[in-house]
Structure 1
Amino acid sequence: MKGFRFGSNQGAFYILPGQGGWEATYGNETLGQFSCPQEAADDLARGLICPHLSEGDDTSTLEIPEKLSDWEIVHV
């Protein structure tokens, strides 16, 4: 099964298969559950609250791409 990884200057974000859908994660924190990986990438790029970031708490400041083709494919 495949998932997606984006390395930002604050650390890696993942979009991985979850229970009945997909999960966006940062570190050990789940940032949300989504019906498809593209929905997760869209929300991360537009801004999700992530209190564990060292600068601010909004993912929109990290230049996370909306296009999944710009994410690295990881096998899980």
Structure 2
Amino acid sequence: MKGFRFGSPQGAFYILPGQDGWEATFGNETLGEFSSPQQAADDLARGLTCPHLSEVDTSTLEIPEKIGDWEIVHV
């Protein structure tokens, strides 16, 4: 299976296959479930609201909106 990774100055974000679709993670925290990797990338790039990221505004980290710009990782 493949997933996706983006390395930011704050740490790495991952979009990986989950139980009911795709999960976005940062560190050891799950940021949410998404229907597709593209939806997860869009939400992270635009500024995902998540209690685990209260100190970090993802919209300021230059996260690519296009999933094709993320690094492919094999899981």
Same fold? TM cut 0.5: yes
Q: Percent identity, aligned pairs only?
A: 85
2:65 paired residue number: 66
Aligned-residue Cα RMSD (Å) equals 1.7
C-alpha contact 2:22 2:37 (8 A) present in aligned 1: yes
1:17 paired residue number: 17
Unaligned ranges ≥5, structure 2: none
Structure 1 residues 2-37: Cα deviation after superposition (integer angstroms, max 9, x where no partner): 000000011100000001100000000011100000
1:8 & 1:60 partners in 2: Cα distance?
A: 11
**Runs of 4 or more consecutive aligned structure 1 residues displaced over 4 Å after TM superposition:** 50-53
1:7 paired residue number: 7
For residue 50 of structure 1, report the CA deviation from its aligned partner: 4.9
2:64 is paired with a residue whose SS is: coil
2:18 & 2:36 partners in 1: Cα distance?
A: 10
1:51 & 1:65 partners in 2: Cα distance?
A: 22
2:56 paired residue number: 57
Unaligned ranges ≥5, structure 1: none
